[in-house]
Amino acid sequence: MRLNADRDRCIGSGLCVLAAPGAFDQDDDGVVSLKTATPPPEAAQDVRRAATLCPALAITITEG
């Protein structure tokens, strides 16, 4: 699993951080930043949930 966060698309809702705090963070402007682009397998469910919850669809996941 590999994560990508489109910072230009992010609207700063913070739902990603709430769903998967081990993988996502927000900068001082509230824009998403990745803590890791390759989260551990045990975080997969939370990361998928974060991508689903993102209202701006700024998070993409590549499996493999």
Q: 3-61 pLDDT, tens per residue?
A: 999 999 999 999 999 999 999 999 999 999 999 999 999 999 999 999 999 999 999 99
Return d(Cα 12, Cα 39) in angstroms, integer. Answer: 21
Name the phi and psi angles at 47, rounded to 5.
-65, -45
Residue 18's identity, in one-letter code, is L
Torsion of CA 2, 22, 54, 59, to 10 degrees: -20
Can you give the pLDDT at residue 9? 98
Can you give the pLDDT at residue 49? 98
What CATH number has the domain spanning 2-62? 3.30.70.20
Can you give the pLDDT at residue 58? 98
Can you give the pLDDT at residue 32? 97
Is the whole-model pTM more than 0.85? yes
Return d(Cα 54, Cα 37) in angstroms, integer. Answer: 17
Nearest to 58 by CA among 21, 18, 24: 24
